[in-house]
Amino acid sequence: MKLMIGLGSCGIASGGLKVKDTFSAMAKENPDINLILSETGCMGMCYKEPMIELIDDDGLGTVYGGVTPEIAKEIFEKHIIGGAPVEEYVVMKRDGSGPEAGFITQQQRIVLSRCGRINPESLDEAMAMGAYKGLEKAIKTMTPAEVVEEVLASGLKGRGGAGFPTGLKWKFAAAPVSDQKYIICNADEGDPGAFMDRSILEGDPHSVIEGLVIGGYAIGATEGYIYARAEYPIAIKRLEIAIKRAEERGFLGDNILGSDFSFHLHIKQGAGAFVCGEETALIASIEGQRGMPRMRPPYPANKGLFAKPSNINNVETLANIGWIILNGAEKFASIGTEKSKGTKVFALAGKIKNGGLVEIPIGASVKDVVFDIGGGTSSGKPFKAVQMGGPSGGCIPANLVDTVIDYDTLAATGAIMGSGGMIVMDEDNCMVDIARYFLNFTQSESCGKCTFCKIGTKRMLEILERITKGQGEQGDIEKLELLADQIKRNALCGLGQTAPNPVLTTLRYFRHEYEAHIRDKKCPAHQCKPLIIYEIDPEKCIGCTVCAKKCPVDAISGSLKSPHVIDQPKCIKCGTCLSACKFGAISVD
C-alpha cells in the first residue's frame, strides 16, 4: 500500500505536516504493515485540505479530505490495517466514484496531469508518468526549427496573461545569431488571488524544467533562468531538488542525452515587486537592478538579458511544451476553440464553495467553472460577479455567466484570460470597493518610472477612495474614464496600460453602484463602512443581550429583556451583531 500526503502550500497551511507525523508514528508502531509513506503536491481540491491518497496494492487510489490527526488514526486502523475505506471522509476514488469526484472528472488535465499524483522530489515517479519523453523526442528526432514549427502549429499562447503565440515568440528568439542566448521562466506570480504557477512548481517541477530545456534547444539558448517569487519557498526548494535530479540523469547540463546540446539552469529569487512580472522589468531584476520596465523595442528576442537575445515564458506555458512535443501539435490543437487552443489552469477562490485548482479545455464557460466544478457561492447567496485576470483584468457579471472562456471572447467583455486567477463574489461584495482594491494594489506596486502610471493611478485611487467614503462628487465617473483612457494609451508597460481595467469593467456592468455611492451616498452591498449604519428595531428586540455580549467594541447597551441601542460613534460596523441576532431586529442600510 502507498500513502501520499498532499503537501503543497495549502496542504501544509491546513495542517498537512501534523497528519504526516501521525501516519509516520503509526507506521513505526506497526512495522509489520507494508506501507510506503510518500508525499505529493497540490491535488487541486484546496477546499478539502489536508488531503491524502491511499493507493491499494491493486492500484486503486482512495482520496480522503479534511484529514486531521484523529481522522488519520482512524484511517490507519480501519483502512490501512483493516482494509476497509472510511467512507465518511472519502472525497473520491480514482475510478471516478465518490462524492467530490466531479471536481476532478469535469476537468481536462494536461498541465496538471502529474500534480498531486507524484512525489515532486522523485524524478522516477515523474518519468513513470511521462516526464522528459517530449525532450527525448525533440533532441533525438527533431531539429530546433522543427520544434519551433511544432509549437507554432499547436496554437499555444502565453499563459501569463497577454496571450502572445508561444511559437512565434520562439521563432523571433531563434532568428538572431549570437554567441549567447537565454531562456527565462517567469515564475514571479504576483497577481493577488492567483496560485496556479505555485501549484505547478510545487507539484510537478520537472514539467517546467522539461519545457525550458526544449525551449533552449529550439531557440539556441544554453543558459536558462527561473525567476521565482521569494514568497514561494516550497516551490523554490522543490525546483532546486528537481534541477539536481535532472542534472544527475543527463536531462540538464553538458551533452544532454548524449547529444551535443548543453543547457544549464539557474534559479533567481525575486525580492517582492509585482512589476517584475513584466518581462523587461524581470530582466532588469536578474541583472541586479531595480525592476523597472524598459522601452520596447528593442524586444528581448533581440536584446534581452545582459543585452543578449532572450526569450521569456510563463510557468504554465512551459509546462505544456513537453506534452505538445510528445503528443504532437495536432492533438493539442484539437482541444479548445478555433482561435484558442489547449487547456487553461485557473485558481478558483473567493466566495466559492469548492475552491481550488481547475484545468479546463479552453471553450468551457464561466458557468461550467463557477457552478459545475466550483459548486456556486460558499455563502449560498446569489452569485454577483467573477473577477478574472487580477489587477489587469476585470469583472464578469452574473448575467454574462455563459461567456465562453477563450482569449477573444473574454477580451470582448472587458476582462482578460489573464494568468488564471478567478475570484468569485456574491451580492455582499461592493464593486466600487473591488475597483478601489485593485487600484490600491497597482498604485502601490507602480514602479514610478512613467508619469501616467505613477500619477494617473494615484489620482484614480484618490477618486475611488472618496467615493467609497461617501465624498463622491458629480463628475467623478467622467474623471475616472478620462484618466483610464489616458493611462491605457500612454503608460510604458503592459501592467500600467491595463491598470484601469478593473475600474472600466465595473463601470461598464455596475455603473449604478457607483452612482448610488456618489448621488445617494449609499453602498448597495452594505460594505463601504462610512456609508452604512446598523440599527436595532426596538419593536423586534427582545433584550436577549447576545448582541451586546458579542460586540467587540462594547458599542451596544441595554438591560435584559428591554430593547438595546447601538452607540453610533463607537460602532465599527463589523456586522457581528447582525449575524448574532436571532430575531432579525438588527438592520443595515
Q: In this structure, are strands 356-361 and 264-269 parallel, antiparallel, or unpaired?
A: unpaired
Return the amino acid letter for 163: G
**For residues 139 and 239, which CB has a smaller minimum distance to other proteins in the complex?**
239
**C-alpha cell at position 430:** 461592493
Interface region with other proteins, contact rule CB under 8 A, candidates 4-12, 129-137, 329-337, 401-409: 4-12
**For residues 289 and 559, which CB has a smaller minimum distance to other proteins in the complex?**
289
Strands (DSSP E) contained in 415-467 are: 421-426
549 is a contact residue toward other proteins (CB under 8 A): no
291 is a contact residue toward other proteins (CB under 8 A): yes
Is 442 exposed, middle or buried (CB count within 10 Å of its CB: 0-12, 13-18, 19+)? buried
Smallest gap from Cβ 144 to other proteins, in A, equals 27
**For residues 82 and 192, which CB has a smaller minimum distance to other proteins in the complex?**
192
Letters for 349-368 (x = contact with other proteins by CB under 8 A, - = none) are xxx---xx------------
3-state class percentages of the chain: helix first, strand second, coil last, to nearest 5: 45, 15, 40
307 is a contact residue toward other proteins (CB under 8 A): no
Contact 327, 321 (CB under 8 A): no
**For residues 46 and 548, which CB has a smaller minimum distance to other proteins in the complex?**
46
Interface region with other proteins, contact rule CB under 8 A, candidates 52-60, 165-173, 192-200, 310-318: 192-200
**C-alpha cell at position 194:** 492567483
Looking at 285, 340, 468, 506, which residue binds other proteins (CB under 8 A)? 285
**C-alpha cell at position 282:** 524581470
Q: Which of residues 128-167 bind other proteins (CB under 8 A)?
A: none
**C-alpha cell at position 509:** 456592468
Smallest gap from Cβ 15 to other proteins, in A, equals 9
Backbone angles phi, psi at 421, to 5 degrees: -75, 135
- For residue 204, the SS3 value is coil
Letters for 20-49 (x = contact with other proteins by CB under 8 A, - = none) are --------------------------xx-x
Looking at 193, 494, 543, 563, which residue binds other proteins (CB under 8 A)? 193
- For residue 51, the SS3 value is coil
Q: CA quadruple 414, 273, 446, 438: dihedral positive or negative?
A: positive
Contact 525, 430 (CB under 8 A): yes
**C-alpha cell at position 364:** 468551457
- Phi/psi-derived region of residue 564, left when phi > 0, alpha when psi is between -120 and 50, beta in every other case: beta
Strands (DSSP E) contained in 111-171 are: none
Give the count of beta carbons closer than 10 Å to the beta carbon of residue 45. 24
Interface region with other proteins, contact rule CB under 8 A, candidates 91-99, 140-148, 267-275, 312-320: 267-275
Interface region with other proteins, contact rule CB under 8 A, candidates 8-16, 314-322, 411-419, 481-489: 8-16
**For residues 134 and 376, which CB has a smaller minimum distance to other proteins in the complex?**
376
Give the count of beta carbons closer than 10 Å to the beta carbon of residue 227. 23
12 is a contact residue toward other proteins (CB under 8 A): yes
576 is a contact residue toward other proteins (CB under 8 A): yes
Looking at 126, 425, 464, 577, which residue binds other proteins (CB under 8 A)? 425
Q: What is the rounded distance in angstroms from the CA atom of residue 129 to the CA atom of residue 121?
A: 14
Looking at 89, 274, 452, 514, which residue binds other proteins (CB under 8 A)? 274
Interface region with other proteins, contact rule CB under 8 A, candidates 67-75, 110-118, 148-156, 417-425: 417-425
188 is a contact residue toward other proteins (CB under 8 A): no
Letters for 202-241 (x = contact with other proteins by CB under 8 A, - = none) are ----------------------------xxxx--------
Q: Which helix (H) or strand (E) holds 246?
A: helix 233-248
Looking at 194, 265, 405, 460, which residue binds other proteins (CB under 8 A)? 194
Q: What is the rounded distance in angstroms from the CA atom of residue 91 to the CA atom of residue 69?
A: 17
Interface region with other proteins, contact rule CB under 8 A, candidates 328-336, 430-438, 480-488, 506-514: 430-438
Contact 203, 114 (CB under 8 A): yes
450 is a contact residue toward other proteins (CB under 8 A): no
Contact 267, 228 (CB under 8 A): yes
Which residues of the shown chain bind other proteins in the complex (CB under 8 A)? Answer: 9-10, 12-14, 46-47, 49, 189-195, 198, 230-233, 268-274, 285-291, 347, 349-351, 355-356, 387, 390, 421, 423, 425, 429, 434, 437-438, 441, 445, 447, 552, 572, 574, 576
